Amino acid sequence: MVVVHSDTQTVKDAVGRLKARAKAVATGFSKDRRPWGWFESITRGDRHQVKRLVVKPGAVLSLQSHVHRAEHWIVVSGTARVTCGDDVLLLSENESTYIPLGTTHRLENPGKRLSWDEVKAEMDKLDRDEEAAA
């Protein structure tokens, strides 16, 4: 939002009106930046979420597992090295993998820019964001 310096108080009022209408733009940003790259939520429902993630060359996401959800990963561009349990896969553009509930997993970008979509499924409505570091 851009305003003249003398009108900066109006930003607070506008954000308050957006929050009152439960608009996501009032409390979140379209891209969430991380040391490994960024992600944005494409859509979200009661029992699913779809994210687009872009991972910097050479970056590695943390090893993790989830108690209340499984994930489907689809490589949009680039190459992904995926650890899923004891298996390590190399996936290219338009290839995908399934991460079962409770399985330790991680993603690495061994090459150039990596873009992939993550579909989170069967999420518990109360514990959507619970993650257990492995």
48 and 111 part of one domain: yes
Determine the Cα–Cα distance for residues 57 and 110; give it in Å rounded to an integer: 6
59 and 114 part of one domain: yes
- As for how many domains the chain has, the answer is 2
Burial class (CB within 10 angstroms; exposed 0-12, middle 13-18, buried 19+) of 18: middle
Phi and psi dihedrals of 133, rounded to 5? -70, 135
pTM of the model: 0.70
92 and 38 part of one domain: yes
- pLDDT tens for residues 12-55? 777 777 778 776 665 655 788 999 999 998 888 888 889 999 99
44 and 54 part of one domain: yes
* DSSP code string of 105-122: EEEE--SS-EEEEEEEES
Domain that holds residue 39: 31-133
- pLDDT tens for residues 100-118? 999 999 999 999 889 988 8
15 and 38 part of one domain: no
15 and 59 part of one domain: no
| Residue 103: C-alpha distances to residues 12, 74, 132 (Å) | 43, 17, 10
Where residue 63 sits, what CATH number does that domain have? 2.60.120.10
- Using an 8 Å Cβ cutoff, are 76 and 70 in contact? no
